[in-house]
Amino acid sequence: MTLYISHPSSKNHDTGQGHPECPARLEAIYKAVEGLRLTNLTELNATAATQDLILQAHDQDYYTHLQHISQQALDAVQYLDPDTVMSAGSLEAALFASGAVILATKQVIDGTAKNAFCAARPPGHHATHNQAMGFCLLNSVAIAAKYATVQLGLERVAVVDFDVHHGNGTQDIFWQDKNLFYGSTHAIDHFPFSGGKDENTPGHICNAPLYSGNGSSHFKEAMTQKVLPALTNFSPDMIFISAGFDAHRDDPLASLNLVDDDFYWITLKLAEIADNTCQGRMVSTLEGGYNLDALGKSAAIHVKALSEAAS
């Protein structure tokens, strides 16, 4: 089966009126997925990530800083930078967002489910080992990848990221660990303006940058000629997906021109590699996507592909 993991705390991460990374994002996804009426989709509530697991990806000083800011946010919303906000419920939401991916990882490795989608917020892939940015506080996918290798004993773990923004935080955390693979397509002329080919490390880091105005054909070429072959050669024991849907042509924060079916296509491609290398084991977690209609449709077709891969 496919797991759909979330937690009510995600709604308590208050980013303020008009902020694109808002609670309505999860409502749009849930409504769209529910409309599919998938028979092999099982919902679970997340558990919170523990400090020891967080510290496998983040520095102690950084996590202590977040705890301190969280206390200040009890009185008033705190801005870590012009885009990244902490409210009274933000740190708890981030802990449960990371915990969702950890729970999904355990369930998939145990064989309870073949794959999973984690619908939680805030997103994570911009958070480095020691810095919040780009709406992100804790790097959920990196924390779970470390959990898979350190606690569960997997030798090689991969993250594939198709968010329109480069997952600089995930790359940062993975940079010195050759057992962790990071592959990404992203618009290099958008925030955080990283992820160029000069940052690639053969067999370990594979960036396939795109540019504003690129569409489905460019995305598929980058994936089939660069990211997917590198992923196959890495031969992971598990695949994680940083599932950002802001490369959609209707998204307000970027200017790539992907459509719903592109997310279906890449999910099935990744599932095929997972079947060939790691018994189909895949965990996906929500990153970006800020047009609610496009986000709901794109996430739903992504979950549909996961469900089909699990059947």
Find the CATH number of the domain harbouring 117. 3.40.800.20
Q: What pLDDT is stored for residue 34 in this prediction?
A: 97
State residue 232 phi and psi, 5-degree precision.
Answer: -60, -45
Alpha-carbon torsion, ordered 220, 182, 149, 177, to 10 deg = 160
Q: Are 26 and 290 in contact (CB under 8 A)?
A: no
For position 11, what pLDDT does the model report?
96
User: What tens digit of pLDDT does each residue of 225-277 get?
Assistant: 999 999 999 999 999 999 999 999 999 999 999 999 999 999 999 999 999 99
| Average pLDDT of the residues of the chain | 98
Percent of the chain with pLDDT over 90: 100
Q: pLDDT digit string (tens) for 12-64?
A: 999 999 999 999 999 999 999 999 999 999 999 999 999 999 999 999 999 99
Among 7, 126, 204, 302, the one annotated catalytic: 126
The predicted model gives 218-228 an average pLDDT of 98
Q: How far is CA 82 from CA 107, 126, 251, 260, 300, in A?
A: 37, 14, 20, 30, 31
Helix (H) or strand (E) holding 53: helix 51-54
Task: Please give the residue range of the domain that contains residue 65.
Answer: 2-310
pLDDT of residue 95: 98
Task: Give phi and psi for 42, each to the nearest 5.
Answer: -120, 130
At 231 the pLDDT is 98
Q: What percent of the chain has pLDDT over 70?
A: 100
Contact in structure between 124 and 136 (CB atoms under 8 Å): yes
Q: What is the pLDDT of residue 111?
A: 96
Which pLDDT does position 22 carry in this prediction? 98
Please state the domain count of the chain.
1
* 68-73 average pLDDT score: 96
Residue 121 φ then ψ, to 5°? -145, 155
Identify the DSSP state of 226.
Answer: I
140: pLDDT confidence band, cut at 50, 70 and 90? very high
Estimate the crossing angle of helix 90-110 against helix 60-72, to 10 degrees: 130
Q: What's this model's pTM, rounded to 2 decimal places?
A: 0.97
pLDDT band for 217, please (50, 70, 90 cuts). very high
Confidence grade of residue 9 (pLDDT, cut at 50, 70, 90) = very high
- Catalytic (active site) residue 126: yes
Residue 293 pLDDT grade (very low, low, confident, very high; cuts 50, 70, 90): very high
